[in-house]
Each structure stands twice: as structure tokens, then as C-alpha cells.
Amino acid sequence: MGSNRSKLAPRTFTAQGLGRVAQPYGDIVPPIHPSSTFERAPDGSFPAGRIYSRADNPTYDGPEAVLASLEGAAAALLFGSGQAAAAAVFQALAPGDRVLAPRNMYWGFRNWLSGYMASWGLVVEFYDNASIDDLAAKLRAKPARLVWIETPANPTWEVTDIAAASEIARKAGALVAVDSTCATPVLTQPLALGAHLVMHSATKYLNGHSDVVAGALASAADDDMWQRIRQVRASGGAVLGPFEAWLLARGMRTLFLRVAAACANAQAIAERFERHPKVSHVLYPGLKSHPGHAVAARQMQGGFGAMLSLRIAGGEAAAKAFTARLAVFKRATSLGSVESLAEHRASVEGPNTMCPPDLVRLSVGVEDARDLIADIEQALG
């Protein structure tokens, strides 16, 4: 663990892309490497260690190294999407393995797990992510190969205690992987809390500008599991294009500024609407009233994230009408970008949603908080 730690503060090395300068011209901004293939030396070797871009591309080196440093990881890998990164973890397991995943989690991945992975032969069971006792009981009942954690969990923002979950999972011989997309490496470092793997939809905060779909994994150890994951990427081919990797590297340089500004806005919005008569609940770990607040305060530093959900008094119709009246918040899916987005989440997730019908999910951006608050106020009527 920690082999890639930089002596500089994370905000410094992230802003500077680890201070790497590309030769021979001394580029401060790293070049893009569009080549899909690399020349062999006459003796048949590959002097620079690169063979073919389905396995690896030099444009990944910078963002992977920054992410590994931020997460205190032995190594990191970029993927063509967050889903592809998460999928690679499960594809590196074997049919028959039992895995435990949170009951409330990003619905797209929940569907993939209970559909494709179940038919591939993984035994997928779900635990209550607000209850460590439930996870412990499920680990005692039968051996599990892997525990998947998502915290705060999309879109209801339950908080899982990563240190406590990792301790009981490790004692039970299970690997722990954390979808830390919404916590971001700025606020939480799951590997330092005991997890083996951390995953990000880099589409969100890491890139931060709604113009790249990407994913990433980082691992505490360069072990057999990591090598299998690397192999899944190389042979499965869920790789990121070099241009997207370059855009991601550019977005990552402002990660700390964006996350701090968005968290401050989200906290202000949550506090402003917590007792609003037209809002029945504000779901946000930064509020003292949130059941996961104490754990979040321990494992998140510098903010509680920039995702929150409002449950609108008046139910589904009122929630949809509220969403329709928003003007500064744009009605769109996704999250983690500089512009604020809102969506009536159950409509997006479809018939098998576990999301309350009165819930509107807000991805809070970096705009002036007064404009965002005024927009919500006018939309509540």
C-alpha cells in the first residue's frame, strides 16, 4: 500500500499532473499518443514496453499515476467507462464465487450484476448498506469472495463505514472493492480504510466536464487479482480512447477546486431546504439529521460530497412538476460536472427501480449557490 505516495500535497501534485514534463520539448501539458501499435526492435523486443493499444496506451500513464497517488494505491487502470471498470472486478472472479453488493447502489450496475453476472455463475446477494450488522451476518452465513461497497450510495446516499466493513470482510477472507465515484479521491481514500480496490466512474468528478465517459480502478497491491483485472481489460478490450484519456487528464488537474466548490454549494442547498414545507426529506450526509452523518464525518474529509436528493412533499406528480420548473439546474442524467443537473430518478431507472417516486436527485455544480437556491425555491413554487 502507498507505493505511489508523493511528498507533495495531493492538491499540488494533482494540479501539476505529478509535475511530469514531456521530453524532448519540455511540454508542460502531456502529449496524446494516438498510435494503436508500437514498433518492435530487430531482436523482436518492445524497447518502450508498449505493444498494442488494446492492452495499454502511453496517454493513460499520467492520469493513472495521479489516481494511484491520490488513492495511495500500488497501481491504477483506466477503462472505457465506469461500468467497464466495475465489471472488470467481477469478471476477474470465477463462476460459483459468492459476492455481496449493497441493496441501494447505482442501478445500472445493480442490474448488470443481477442480470449478466448472475447468469455467468456468480452468486450475487445484496446487503443493507446502512447496516454493518447485516453485512456481518451475511458474511458469517456463508463464505464470500468479494464485498462491493458504494458510499455515499446513489441516489439515496446511505453511508457505509468502509473501515468497519473492511475489517469484517478481511476477517472472513473476502476482498473489498469500493465504488468511490461520489466520494471522490479528494474526500475519501478507501484503501487507507482497509479496502483492496477502489473504483471510479471517471465520467463524473475526475473528469468533471460532462465530455468524457471513462472509468478507473486502483488497487492496494499489485497482486494476482490485479493481474487478472489487467488481463480482463487487455483481452476484453474495454479501453479508453487516447483523446478521452487526454481530456480526462486535463479535467483531473482542477479536481480539488471543483470538488470543494461543489461540496460547499451542496451543503448550503441541503441546509437551506432541510425544513422547507414543500420538501419532506433532504437526503445528504452533510446534515446532522442524516443517519450516516457520524460515519461520513469520520471517513470523508473536506466535505460530504456534492450529490443530494430532495423528496418532494406531494409525491411523484409534485416531484415531476418541480423538476419540470427548474431552469438553472439542467434536466439530465449523470453527475459530478461543473454544471448542476437534476432528474426525477425513478423515471430514469424504470419499472424495477428501488428509488422513492417523490425523489429528485441533484448533482450540484460549481455555480453561485444563490442562483441554485433561487432556482430550487422558484421550482418548489
Interface contacts to ligand PLP, rule CB under 6 A: 81-83, 106, 108-109, 150, 154, 179, 181-182, 201, 203, 213, 215, 334-335
Q: At closest approach, how far in Å is the CB of 203 from ligand PLP?
A: 4
From the list 5, 20, 50, 54, the catalytic residue is 54
Tell me the residue ranges of DSSP E strands in 58-213: 75-79, 98-102, 123-127, 146-150, 175-179, 197-201
179 is catalytic: yes
Taking CB positions, which residue lies at the least distance from ligand PLP?
Answer: 82
Query: Quick check: 305 and 184 in contact, CB under 8 A?
Result: yes
Q: At closest approach, how far in Å is the CB of 57 from ligand PLP?
A: 18
**C-beta of 1 vs 338, nearer to ligand PLP:** 338
CA 364 to chain centre: 15
**C-beta of 4 vs 290, nearer to ligand PLP:** 290
Q: Which three cell numbers stand for residue 164?
A: 468497519
From the list 97, 161, 179, 358, the catalytic residue is 179
Report the residue count for the chain. 381
**C-beta of 151 vs 166, nearer to ligand PLP:** 151
CA–CA gap between residue 338 and residue 326 (Å, rounded): 17
**What are the residues whose beta carbons fall under 8 Å from the beta carbon of 321, sequence distance 6 or more?**
none
CA–CA gap between residue 232 and residue 90 (Å, rounded): 10
**C-beta of 193 vs 335, nearer to ligand PLP:** 335
CA neighbor of 113 nearest in space, from 101, 96, 104: 101
From the list 60, 106, 205, 284, the catalytic residue is 106
Q: At closest approach, how far in Å is the CB of 70 from ligand PLP?
A: 17
204 is catalytic: yes
Q: At closest approach, how far in Å is the CB of 105 from ligand PLP?
A: 7
From the list 98, 138, 145, 204, the catalytic residue is 204
54 is catalytic: yes
Q: At closest approach, how far in Å is the CB of 129 from ligand PLP?
A: 12
Mapping DSSP to helix (H, G, I), strand (E, B) and coil, where does residue 72 land?
Answer: coil
**C-beta of 213 vs 379, nearer to ligand PLP:** 213
CA–CA gap between residue 218 and residue 78 (Å, rounded): 9
Determine the residue type at 267: Q
CA–CA gap between residue 127 and residue 148 (Å, rounded): 10
Q: Which active-site residues does the annotation give?
A: 54, 106, 179, 204
